[in-house]
Chains A and B, each alone.
Chain A
């Protein structure tokens, strides 16, 4: 084996450099959208300090022994759950979600940290000896690890984050090699529940379709019946919980299915975001020159609509640059799964990848007007301290795994 002292060997610049670029672009966009704002002018300085804190956190996480992640998996998940429960009682409501907690002068969102806890814990559980992801009991436990935080987050209610958790859970189960039938078992209750929200007829149709699918899978009677009863149970259980929710929480879930229900909230923002991006043109209107941004047509642009600041002021070139930086990060993350030392590390990376990608897809999709408006920050760019911190910790984990990768000859 040859010892190589090149930096690239210990430190993956192909992820780190794009991330730094994204943070810098994010800072510029936050500055542009808040500099003239009467109440948000301090946000740039705050974000800058968070960026520095996050970088420090990144290097700390990068340098710690890799075994720590496995050891911290279960405790961090349990702490996350406790925090998610506490926030429901003691949290502060921001933009309609009771998702913020304050410790002294600092505020943070427990759901951000819960993402990390959930990824580590589920990865850890899935890599235990003798796990069979196609065994109904094991699937059930895997789903429970994912869905307990989801239920808690739905109560806040923070639909966007709950969706991200679902995508992470499904991605990890998918990667673990679930069979087509297993995937069907996992997804079918969700389909039935969503159908039941639309009324009785769609609910019955969905149940019938599942019956047909079960027959086509040609499993034995016991398995088929179990799955069917599970579906039925899930939908009634959901209905039961749904009735316990407060009216605004029910509305929140309903408006997730039909975003047009809140026209000014989402319609207005979506229209303004499209105008900002579209009018940016090829080269953009220039830094601090975007009149959509500077006239503040888009409320709270520095959080969920940060991408249209880039689109308006830096144009197609700028938006494409951001897109490519993300693409590099995603492809590289997928690539690093080849080198990781163990299955736990691979699953952790897959979890992180699915988290970053779902944020990216939902946020940018909403900015360019191809997905419904769901409030989720764009990783590394959007204003928000705990989100940036957790994202940088995750990049730290990935690079730590890379540092300790399998050696090739």
Chain B
């Protein structure tokens, strides 16, 4: 006997019966489903199939700091093709109606060949209502064509903001591979600027409708009366730190110019205005972006797609002189009595470094006020490369600020390490240091870094990371969540700051280089600069903060290829400062204000 030794025959039999019994039950169930009830199941499967229809959620609205809409949404028609039912013969006809080039539809169908032929392809977004009316009349002759109403971005609120807002694009198949849990084909995803950084807040949740469809995919009703449906939840509205009025003034000023402007609330790091000019029209990206537009934007020599405010690097020119001044004062290397005699330049080795004028005997205050180069040639040699680089780094140069848009570059802050690498250990020509003293040479900075630098002078070295997001409003609950960045302090004595700030005050309100922008009621403190440009005319640079007594705004302006700072850059800064301060809206925003404002805007929206 071979059964009883390691287990009883009886128990084995019971297991045998359980197995065979269960398989028999499955067998009869299969038999009844697939043989007896097959016709019923087939009809049901053909006629009564449940199909989920996904609805894209509208993206969150972008408000400015006073709850004014800057970027909204509007409905638009999207025409689609379902390849399974589509008749290729219709293509020339459709292309003519849509006004697209020959072969356009074929191309889209080809691109998405790998996907199921039952998934609809969007062939045209933002379709004219006339086309939809025509479709409605002829839909029976157009198998496999349909349209849906979707929302797209609406930029008709008076601000361009192309580089800070950014745009979203249809998700690419390579990106889809990595984010398959969250996205599906044809979904939009933020691909630059704020749209990209806050994609997770802005995108909302897709809605699902379960509908019953027949074998021809025709909708014949709702599944379980729509009980399982989920409505799309709009993305969270973002309240940005931008002041729409200041932004508009700045955009207007840059209409025919190239350059960048960044304005910051000095104590909080809130960005009040942000321009990179020339701008491009975000509306071109709101629906399908045609190749013509892409090519045009990319071929444009002025590079409108390039974010000059955070990606472009410039020499800061004379605006950088305050670094040497502050470092020397803080380290006790000089005081206000220290004087240099300016004879219109400085002989260093065999090279003569020029100054713009013959300033005579100048101390640190006058040197900043009149932008005397000679003083700073002397001073930077006294400070030395290491101290100079240390103080530059304290102000954030050579590092990314961590601003909440993905496009940012660190610029270049040359240090001893850098020069040792370039020239060999300790062999760099000392003349380089002389150039650095007046903000020329290898040193390169972004306009954003300059604005952060101005903010630190405005607020005695205390600020927070520059950022766009003030907070967001949860769609489901209406709850407002404020995002408060950590503040930091670069730990420099206020006495040192006082001397430099006083000099910056005199630049505008004394006999300084920017006295042309003096205002009777607002005291602006600033510094002009000229950024040498090896490729063409010099760029005008100006940094400022105001009011001098209690700064509420710090600003950096660069205008490309126009020469000296006071003529072109400074007036723009003045206009933006005026626009922001004269409204009297500099109060710190409170959550309760937002909520009441929000309610109002919502009611207005409904009323409209």
Contact = CB atoms under 8 A, between A and B. Distances in A.
Contact of B49 (A280, A297, A311, A370): A297
Contact of B117 (A36, A37, A175, A177): A36
A251 interface: no
Interface residues of B, number: 48
A357 B19 contact: yes
A103 to B, nearest CB: 20
B42 to A, nearest CB: 4
Contacts of B34: 277-278, 280-282, 311, 315-316, 319
Interface in A308-366: 311, 315-316, 319-320, 323, 326-327, 330-331, 334, 337-340, 342-343, 346, 350, 353, 357, 361, 364-365
Interface string B1-27: 011001110011001100110110111
A319 B30 contact: yes
Contacts, number: 141
Nearest to A39: B180
A331 B16 contact: yes
Contacts of A368: 26, 29-30, 33
A323 B27 contact: yes
A290 to B, nearest CB: 9
Contacts of A41: 114
A282 B180 CA distance: 36
B115 interface: yes
A370 B50 CA distance: 21
B170 to A, nearest CB: 13
A327 B35 contact: no
Nearest to B8: A177
A39 B500 CA distance: 60
Nearest to B27: A323
Contact of A36 (B29, B31, B42, B116): B116
Interface in A238-292: 263-264, 268, 271-272, 274-282, 291-292
A297 B211 CA distance: 11
B547 to A, nearest CB: 53
Contacts of B169: none
Contacts of B26: 323, 364-365, 368, 370
Given A38-B119, A277-B33, A368-B33, A338 B2 contact: yes
A272 B44 CA distance: 10
Nearest to A42: B177
A331 B19 contact: yes
B215 interface: yes
A294 interface: yes
A292 B19 contact: no
Given A275-B49, A338-B3, A327 B40 contact: no
Given A291-B215, A368-B30, A406-B2, A276 B50 contact: no
Given A38-B116, A177-B11, A327-B23, A279 B41 contact: yes
A334 B184 contact: no
Contacts of A369: 29
B50 A327 contact: no
Nearest to A337: B7
Interface string A154-177: 000000000000000001001101
A320 B42 contact: no
A281 B3 contact: no
Contacts of B27: 320, 323
A339 B30 contact: no
A209 B19 CA distance: 30
Given A334-B15, A337-B12, 5 more contacts: A274-B41, A278-B38, A342-B6, A357-B19, A370-B25
22 contacts: A38-B114, A38-B184, A174-B11, A175-B11, A275-B45, A276-B45, A278-B34, A278-B37, A278-B38, A297-B49, A297-B50, A297-B51, A316-B31, A327-B23, A331-B16, A331-B19, A338-B3, A340-B6, A350-B15, A361-B22, A368-B29, A406-B2
